[in-house]
Amino acid sequence: MLYLQSIYRKMNDNYNKNIAREIKQVLSEIGENPEREGLIKTPERVSKSMEFLTNGYKQNPQEILRSAMFAEDYSQMVLVKDIELYSLCEHHMLPFFGKAHIAYIPDGYIVGLSKIPRTVDVFSRRLQVQERLTDEIKDCLQETLNPKGVAVVIEAQHLCMQMRGVQKQHSSTTTSAFSGIFMSDEKTRSEFMKLIK
Ligand SMILES: [Zn+2]
């Protein structure tokens, strides 16, 4: 029992103390009392959630894709729609969230379908702008899988705009990035766009 308690304490103690210390300072600076009951564990919780929301820095998306690449003759479009996405904008560190739609046309290799949302997670769990996020996902798939082309469309709402009143509520931002045949062949691109509507 004591042993379990000490493991539990250790697990609980496993957070970045530097982040927690700074968050405590922020709480004071905004006029809060960081010692009151509701806030006493907040620095620790923010530290843990911040580490989770930025754990994409510690992961290699190319490795994740390579771990499930298979030689295959299939040469039609592979499309994964409505991939949930949560990221933090690098200007305000506030969430932006929405959906990603990703397609590729294989050229000898396919990838396990679950690895595509994983790739989205790795790039999303870093400080981002939506434009770069879209490009990074496209480039990663193109460079790792070397398919005939990749298409990525992201639709997202940005809390840094909505909460600060910069943008009308519920409006969303769409970004897209294409490579290979999606870039050069209008018909392939419009087929993709039709499929994600
Ligand atoms: Zn922002």
Q: How many CB atoms lie within 10 A of CB 163?
A: 13
166 — pLDDT class (breaks 50, 70, 90):
confident
Q: Residues 56-78: what's their mean pLDDT?
A: 97
- For residue 158, indicate whether it is catalytic: yes
- For residue 91, indicate whether it is catalytic: yes
- Residues 6 or more apart whose CB falls under 8 angstroms from that of 33 comprise 27, 39
Q: How many CB atoms lie within 10 A of CB 28?
A: 11
Determine the residue type at 93.
M
Distance from the alpha carbon of residue 139 to the mean position of ligand 1, in angstroms: 23
Catalytic one among 72, 90, 131, 143?
A: 90
The structure tokens listed for 73 are 């003759």
Catalytic one among 130, 136, 142, 162?
A: 130
Determine the residue type at 136.
E
Catalytic one among 25, 91, 131, 143?
A: 91
> Strands 149-158, 173-178: parallel, antiparallel or unpaired by DSSP?
antiparallel
Query: Tell me, what DSSP letter sits at residue 54?
Result: T
Looking at every residue in the chain, the average pLDDT score rounds to: 94
Query: Tell me, what DSSP letter sits at residue 161?
Result: H
Q: Whole-angstrom Cα distance, residue 130 to residue 174?
A: 9
Could you read off the pLDDT of 104-159 as tens digits, one per residue? 999 999 999 999 999 999 999 999 999 999 999 999 999 999 999 999 999 999 99
Catalytic one among 44, 140, 142, 158?
A: 158
- For residue 101, indicate whether it is catalytic: no
Catalytic one among 92, 155, 167, 191?
A: 92
Distance from the alpha carbon of residue 164 to the mean position of ligand 1, in angstroms: 10
- For residue 140, indicate whether it is catalytic: no
Share of the chain above pLDDT 90, in %: 87
Distance from the alpha carbon of residue 131 to the mean position of ligand 1, in angstroms: 12
Q: Is the pLDDT of residue 6 over 70?
A: no
